Structure 1
Amino acid sequence: MKVERDLHMSRGDGETSYASNSRLQERSILKTRPALHEAVAAARASASLSSAGAMVIADLGCSSGPNTLLVVSEVLGAVAAGRREAELRLVHVQFFLNDLPGNDFNLVFQSLELFRKLAARDKGDSLPPYYVAGLPGSFYTRLFPDRSVHLFHSSYCLMWRSKVPEELARGTVLNEGNIYIWEATPPSVVKLYRKHCQEDFSLFLKLRHKELASNGQMVLSFLGRKSQDVLRGEVSYMWGLLAQALQSLVKEGRVEKETLDSFNLPFYAPSVDEVRDVIRQSEAFDINHIQLFEYNWDPHDDDLDDVVSVFASPGANVAQCIRAVIEPLVARPFGEHILDNLFEIYARNIAGHLRKVKTKYPVIVLSLAARRAPKYQQAINGDCSSLFTRGQFM
């Protein structure tokens, strides 16, 4: 598996595309609006911005579809509101939309003309001058010159790893019948996934810190884990039920067992404590806000209680959503010819699970500020642990 080649959302705007099946991700962006607006204000007020006259915003893992330009709209709205309220001078805004090379950038750019018309209509004279560019590449590599970006945003992306842990990618069967961590996964495999997540996230923070301007900000949201029990977490069940669907096709002779046993997702959903630990160790960022909230598996179920869904097709709704995300990654090793059947079985598995328990995705939201002071000055200023308990937005 080559992550930079194979990991991308389903292209286009058809029935199974990501653009048509990203309602959960839209809700996450709207939920984090307060944190994003605060970060825009902080970046807008930075000393470097006052001399440059332009604010650089990068959306990492932008994907395609309406959510990509929703982030652009939210930032422009925050800049326009700040200008009206504080009578700030005009600032130009440069957006970089980043994702892996397989992303459907064409769909994004084709949507820009209509977006510009709607933005001009809705925001009028308060709309700041803005520019949008695509930037293909992995956010586990350098993307920008030193201290050139004022705000990084990323939504529903940082649970994806740079690669499958090397010990699993070599072909040795260590996680038989599974595609991620689930009930029968050996502790050694859990340790590999956790270690690789820590290394990836640490690298991500190091790279972004170099690229952020003074007073630079980051707003990140990604799937996480509410429980310390990684074997039975909500996301583990999501992938475990897909593994069961693949096992069904193995029994039917439509999928080779060896192919399933050698397939492992480049994915890890960390707990809030695991995230905090990596940030502390990096000594590069202060946490403005940290929060975990939950969304129902079924993207069309907006009820926040724990009552089992009564929707007619919750299994199909969830399977369609996951297919839009995972289809390209699954199609390469298993073949496109099994996809319809695979996700039909997966939908039944999901429906059976949801009849027993209403399950939700835990989403971790982080708002970070780049730390520039030397380590000794941080010690003089007080106990750094207080930085991690400043409170939550909502």
Structure 2
Amino acid sequence: MMATKRVLHMNGGEGETSYTKNSLIQRKVASIVKPILEDTVKRLVSNISAERCWKVADLGCSSGPNSLFFVSNMLSVMDNVSMSLNQGTPRVLQIYMNDLFGNDFNNIFKLIPDFFQRIHGEKKENHVRCFIHATPGNFYGRLFPDEYIHFFHSSYCLHWLSQAPTSTRIAEPLNKGNIYITNENRPSVYEAYMKQFEKDFKLFLKSRSEELRSGGIMLLTFIGREKSHNMANPWGIIGTVLNDMVEEGLIEREKLDFFDLPIYGPTPEEVSQVIEEEGSFRLKTLKTVKIGWDGNLQEDVDDATVDSKTRALIVAKSIRAVFEPLLSANFGEVIMDELFSRFAMIVSQLIDTELESLEYTNVIVSMTKDS
């Protein structure tokens, strides 16, 4: 089994299938979460108001302009909080951008000079000063010294597992013919995924609790699902396409049978249960918001003028930007164009019949370190 951390990264660069050009959904979700970010910062100000410099870590930052969107939001929120509370906020932000070693950090670095020039042009003389650092590494484990960070943020990352769950019988696939949980799976497949999520999330919480300062806070957003076991999602469609390609002899069946995506969308109840069992944090916010697979299109596009084929291509590009490195490592680069062309055709048909159900359920969680 390939090492997930070596191939789990978004498509780098700035090409047509890059994450840079196909991450509208992630940006829109960050905008939706901004009011919760503001509430979180207010709480942090009251917890550690005497601190002059806040150390803030963005876990799973990926690459492209979205990486700095959180920093921009954070600076904006701190200005708003300072005015609304009529008290000073820290004058220095030390930002740590974290992702796995395969992430395209160079893409972030190239954006920083223009980003600093823009924010300095928008702010007054007494604006919050900001310093940005890169911290490559796996967040399922330690990244920082003890009691070092004031605020952890992560968006659209924690649904990724450290590895796909495996069968208890080494010679047998866990989920034959599928790459993720389906509504028709045996309960054992769902249980294996849930156990892997529980193990990973508990390690994540333990690691962050050791790294957080007293009074520190975390704000996390990730793809989840409603309480039912309905597993409708784009990666289920990828599994359907791969099965078709196996039947046509384009992919070896064994490669499909022994490949499972290292991803799990928990329910809010599952998230709450793991936080409670791990015991390091006190839950403050737990809510869900929904957004369409196509990100409900660009802000400047009239929904009524966009046909199902165009919507489907937007979905296909956004999924390809995220999943292609992982899929090509297992099935080969040569089939990627065909795979995502077929994927787009199926999504187009679904949009014509089930548009309202093609939504991501996003779980938003804020918590404080339990002293």
Q: Which TM-score bucket, shorter chain as reference?
A: over 0.9
Aligned mates of 1:261, 1:15 — CA distance in 2: 30
- Map of 2:57 onto structure 1: 58
- Map of 1:275 onto structure 2: 271
Aligned mates of 1:82, 1:361 — CA distance in 2: 30
Deviations 1:288-316 (A, max 9, x none): 2111110011224479xxx9x85442221
Aligned mates of 2:168, 2:103 — CA distance in 1: 26
Helix, strand or coil at the partner of 2:270: helix
Deviations 1:169-213 (A, max 9, x none): 945223111000013322111110011111111111111111111
* Contact persistence 2:166–2:174 (CA under 8 A): no
Aligned mates of 2:236, 2:90 — CA distance in 1: 51
Instruction: Tell me: CA distance 1:65–1:170, structure 2 relative to 1, closer, same or farther (3 Å).
Output: farther
Alignment coverage as a number of residue pairs: 362
Helix, strand or coil at the partner of 2:124: helix
Tell me the percent identity: 36
* Contact persistence 2:99–2:138 (CA under 8 A): yes
Task: Tell me which of 277, 283, 288 is aligned to 1:287.
Answer: 283
1:129 shift after superposition? 1.4
Aligned mates of 1:106, 1:250 — CA distance in 2: 37
Aligned mates of 1:370, 1:186 — CA distance in 2: 37
Helix, strand or coil at the partner of 1:357: helix
- Map of 2:332 onto structure 1: 335
- Map of 1:36 onto structure 2: 37
Aligned mates of 2:342, 2:64 — CA distance in 1: 27
| Structure 2: stretches of 5+ with no match in the other structure | none
| Structure 1: stretches of 5+ with no match in the other structure | 373-394
Deviations 1:347-381 (A, max 9, x none): 11111222221211000001111110xxxxxxxxx
- Map of 1:377 onto structure 2: none
Aligned mates of 1:166, 1:243 — CA distance in 2: 17
How do residues 152-163 of structure 1 correspond to structure 2 at under 5 angstroms? 152-163=152-163
- Map of 1:260 onto structure 2: 256
Helix, strand or coil at the partner of 1:93: strand
Name the stretch that deviates more: 292-301 or 201-210.
292-301
How do residues 25-174 of structure 1 correspond to structure 2 at under 5 angstroms? 25-47=26-48, 50=50, 53-85=52-84, 86-88=86-88, 91-167=91-167, 170=170, 172-174=172-174
Name the stretch that deviates more: 77-86 or 258-267.
77-86
Helix, strand or coil at the partner of 1:127: coil
Letter in 1 for 2:232: E
Letter in 2 for 1:334: F
Aligned mates of 1:354, 1:109 — CA distance in 2: 38
Aligned mates of 2:275, 2:54 — CA distance in 1: 25
Letter in 2 for 1:206: K
* Contact persistence 1:39–1:151 (CA under 8 A): no
1:165 shift after superposition? 1.5
Aligned mates of 1:364, 1:171 — CA distance in 2: 35
1:125 shift after superposition? 2.1
Letter in 2 for 1:337: V
1:30 shift after superposition? 0.6
Instruction: Tell me: CA distance 1:89–1:221, structure 2 relative to 1, closer, same or farther (3 Å).
Output: closer
1:78 shift after superposition? 2.0
Instruction: Tell me: CA distance 1:277–1:150, structure 2 relative to 1, closer, same or farther (3 Å).
Output: same
Aligned mates of 2:69, 2:218 — CA distance in 1: 17
Alignment root-mean-square deviation, CA:
2.0
1:323 aligns with 2:315: no
1:87 shift after superposition? 4.1
Task: Tell me which of 243, 246, 257 is aligned to 1:247.
Answer: 243
* Contact persistence 2:167–2:173 (CA under 8 A): no
Tell me which stretches of 4 or more aligned residues in structure 1 moved more than 6 Å.
Answer: none
* Contact persistence 1:225–1:234 (CA under 8 A): no
1:233 aligns with 2:234: no
* Contact persistence 1:140–1:203 (CA under 8 A): yes
TM-score w.r.t. the length of structure 1 is 0.87
Aligned mates of 2:115, 2:169 — CA distance in 1: 42
Letter in 1 for 2:178: N
Aligned mates of 2:94, 2:363 — CA distance in 1: 27
Aligned mates of 2:43, 2:149 — CA distance in 1: 13
Aligned mates of 2:169, 2:157 — CA distance in 1: 21
* Contact persistence 1:22–1:321 (CA under 8 A): yes
Letter in 1 for 2:32: K
Task: Tell me which of 307, 310, 313 is aligned to 2:310.
Answer: 313
- Map of 1:351 onto structure 2: 348
